[in-house]
Amino acid sequence: MNRVCHYRDGVLWLDDFRARDLAQQFQTPLYVYSEQTIIDRWLRFADAWPAPHRICYAVKANSHIAILQLMARLGAGFDIVSQGELERVLAAGAEPATVVFSGVAKSAEEIRRALSVGIGCFNVESQQELQRIEAIASDMGKVANVSIRINPNVDAGTHPYISTGLKTNKFGIDYELADAVFDYAAQSPTLNLQGIDCHIGSQITEPAPFLDAAKRMFAWVDKLAKRGIAISHLDLGGGFGVPYHDEAAFPTAEYLQGLLGLAKDYPQLTLMLEPGRSLVAEAGVLLTRVEYVKHSTEKRFAIVDAGMNDLLRPALYQAYHAILPEREEQQLGQVTDIVGPVCETGDFLAHARHLAVAPGDLIAVANAGAYGMSMSSNYNSRRRPAEVLLQGQQAKLITAREQYSQLWQREQLVYTMQSDEGEA
Ligand SMILES: *Cc1c(COP(=O)(O)O)cnc(C)c1O
């Protein structure tokens, strides 16, 4: 149910809109999100996750304030990794107490701001960070809620760049070194040691590595209890995979049942999850138009008006995105690489797809709702795309296309302009 992109009478629709009409009204490249799909993905978690357990949406996946507002209305908390994300969440009207703050490099300014607005908890990634939070909280006369991020050393079998639970990663505190950090946090009057957390990686398609990590985390809770350290929450992170290609959908209900089973003996613990991608990836589509079709002796290229600056995932991780042409019959063409306008060989959206397209034709890059716009840049001085949210029968522009003058609005010229001299 609810595939945002589908064909009706052989032409491409996104929910209840013809792709062609959206492209005509809002121009390309264009990000389009389906509100209904976000809600459906949210319910996959929420329906199987009874209170008091919580879901903190990982803001970095898609940090648009309208999407944050929707998440808050659905009942989500937020997992943030920077002050910028904190300010976005506040701008979206979220309750600061529902926010957990992750990330390895929290600055003093970020910690101060988070304490002053009263966020729920810091997910602490090192002893030094813990001491910094303690010093700032003490200075402000506050008590800081903290959770310690443990590195459970689970190999999630994912792309090395997005695997975060191994000893060799920069994230979390080494399993063997964490004891001292817990002791420090537990004895500090300025720190309220609330929880433990982990996050083992991203785009993990099976429950096994998560349950493996969860077991290690519950064992930690036991170990802490034996030493007289009681905690009130266990945050198991995000990383649930989505079917980009031919992967099966992540069995969310099965995983949550498994977790709740493990948690049976811990009625005092509130469990938390931090899904990002799995709530928004499938809801988003990048619409782009073919500018040129070019043949080399070896290859056929469709050069489109969206590039790696708009959607970095293919270039960064060799990520796969399904490509859907405007007319269904165009899926039966020659093998084609879909490449962008940016001056980099790595600037591609897809390799070797069957596609019969001509200049002016529209194509949709599917499953682009996570780590799409949030990773976009202005490289090559390209304006970032507009964004549209489909809400039932309405298509709402939620981000205007950038103006060219915005590209240099924070920059300063340093020499007097020739024309100014002439006027003087
Ligand atoms: C990135 C991240 C997430 C979300 O990961 P997804 O793969 O998008 O679900 C959750 N928690 C932490 C700490 C993260 O860094």
Which amino acid is it at 199?
Answer: H
Assigned token pair, 46? 């929420």
Q: Ligand 1 pocket: which of 44, 56, 79, 100 to mutate (most atoms <8 Å of CB)?
A: 79
Strands (E), 81-152: 99-101, 121-124, 144-151
* Cβ of 239 less than 6 Å from ligand 1: yes
Nearest C-alpha neighbor of 234 from the set 367, 68, 121 = 121
Whole-number Å distance, alpha carbon 88 to ligand 1 midpoint, is 17
The rounded distance, in Å, linking the Cα atoms of 8 and 229 is 59
* Cβ of 202 less than 6 Å from ligand 1: yes
Nearest C-alpha neighbor of 198 from the set 230, 223, 221 = 221
Assigned token pair, 50? 């009874």
User: CA separation (Å) from 42 to 46, 73, 355, 423?
Assistant: 6, 11, 33, 61
* Cβ of 276 less than 6 Å from ligand 1: yes
The pTM is what? 0.95
Token look-up 């009263």 returns 118
Whole-number Å distance, alpha carbon 159 to ligand 1 midpoint, is 14
Check: CB of residue 338 under 8 Å from CB of residue 356: no
Whole-number Å distance, alpha carbon 102 to ligand 1 midpoint, is 9
User: CA separation (Å) from 421 to 416, 417, 418, 424?
Assistant: 7, 7, 5, 5
What number of other Cβ atoms are within 10 A of residue 313's Cβ? Answer: 21
Nearest C-alpha neighbor of 400 from the set 91, 112, 26, 115 = 26
pLDDT value of position 158: 53
* Cβ of 199 less than 6 Å from ligand 1: yes
User: CA separation (Å) from 298 to 220, 315, 337?
Assistant: 56, 21, 11
What number does the ligand 1 atom closest to the CA of 202 have? Answer: 7
What number does the ligand 1 atom closest to the CA of 201 have? Answer: 7
DSSP 298: S
pLDDT value of position 151: 86
Token look-up 């010229």 returns 413
Whole-number Å distance, alpha carbon 61 to ligand 1 midpoint, is 8
What number does the ligand 1 atom closest to the CA of 240 have? Answer: 9
Assigned token pair, 349? 């959206």
User: CA separation (Å) from 367 to 34, 62, 322, 334?
Assistant: 11, 12, 7, 23
User: CA separation (Å) from 293 to 337, 342, 402?
Assistant: 10, 16, 27
The rounded distance, in Å, linking the Cα atoms of 308 and 372 is 10
What number of other Cβ atoms are within 10 A of residue 255's Cβ? Answer: 21
Q: Which residues, listed in sequence order, are joined to residue 137 by a DSSP beta bridge?
A: none
pLDDT value of position 242: 97
Check: CB of residue 322 under 8 Å from CB of residue 356: no
Task: Write out the binding residues for pyridoxal 5'-phosphate.
Answer: 239, 274-277, 371
Do β-strands 144-151 and 191-197 pair in parallel, antiparallel, or remain unpaired? parallel
Specify whether 198 is catalytic: no
Which amino acid is it at 7?
Answer: Y
Token look-up 């939070």 returns 133
Whole-number Å distance, alpha carbon 60 to ligand 1 midpoint, is 8
Token look-up 């209890």 returns 225
- What string of pLDDT tens digits covers the 424 residues of the chain? 348 999 999 999 999 999 999 999 999 999 999 999 999 999 999 999 999 999 999 999 999 999 999 999 999 999 999 999 999 999 999 999 999 999 999 999 999 999 999 999 999 999 999 999 999 999 999 999 999 999 887 765 554 545 565 566 677 888 778 999 999 999 999 999 999 999 999 999 999 999 999 999 999 999 999 999 999 999 999 999 999 998 899 999 999 999 999 999 999 999 999 999 999 999 999 999 999 999 988 899 999 999 999 999 999 999 999 999 999 999 999 999 999 999 998 999 999 999 999 999 999 999 999 999 999 999 999 999 999 999 999 999 999 999 999 999 999 999 998 876 555 4
Domains and CATH numbers, the chain: 5-32+281-408 (2.40.37.10), 103-273 (3.20.20.10)
pLDDT value of position 167: 60
Residue-wise DSSP of 328-356: GGGGSSEEEEEE-SSSSTT-EEEEEEEE-
* Cβ of 274 less than 6 Å from ligand 1: yes
* Cβ of 205 less than 6 Å from ligand 1: no
